[in-house]
Homo-oligomer: A and B are copies of this chain.
Amino acid sequence: LGFSAAVTTFHVCYIFGMQDARKKVQRRESRLSREQIVFEAIALLDTEGEEGLTFKALGERLSTGSGAISNKSDLILAACDAIIARVQDASITGDTPQESIRAFALGIFDAIHERPWAGAALMRVPGQQPVIRILESLGREIRILGVPEDEQWTATIALFNYIVGVSGQHAALAQLARQQDLKRSESLEALSQTWSNLDSSQYPFARSIAEKLRTHDDRADFLAGIDFIVIGISVTINSVI
């Protein structure tokens, strides 16, 4: 089959009298599926970063004209959603809702850590599919936790906003590092240096945590924040009752 397709293509080139067979106009046999496009978009985002996703580069990967793909924001939305969907499928429920929330949140964190572009995308699609997925997963556990109907929205959205904030900062730092052609740790080192040179009368606290910026454990910090919120929710609903 591959051979006959090649012959056909050559035939077309011959008729058109093209001089360079390698520059032949190759027409795809089957239409591009949405899955294919999203798959290659993710591959491109993974290897080249956010800035690497251009229609030109994606067109080459899909061996098609750049015009065949359209609506960039929808494409990023779909790519981000695919990542979040995987987290949803992979996440296991714990013995308690607290543990389940921790596990799911960590799943998101790890996914974002691996693909900072997805964290940036998550911020730009308010109320869309990937957001719905996260709210659904969190909200179910919030219900199990015994949060009254009226407070479920508030509790869930608080967790969501925190997660999305961490994702965004993570993505922004990764992009900064990429721009500077540095590793993440080197960018943090540079920032830490700047912080430690701050005026100590104006910025006593920021100076004092400059060292922490270099040595902190991102994942542990993230989880600590989740715990603060979950504890806060638990205390609030118990004191109301």
Contacts and interface: CB of A to CB of B under 8 A. Distances in A.
Contact of A136 (B157, B160, B206): B206
Q: What number of copies of this chain does the assembly contain?
A: 2
Interface string A182-194: 0000001001001
A164 B158 contact: no
A60 to B, nearest CB: 28
Interface stretch (A10-18, A23-31, A39-47, A118-126): A118-126
Nearest to A142: B205
Interface in A135-163: 135-136, 139-140, 143, 152-158, 160-163
B164 A169 contact: yes
Interface stretch (A1-9, A63-71, A97-105, A220-228): A220-228
A233 B228 contact: yes
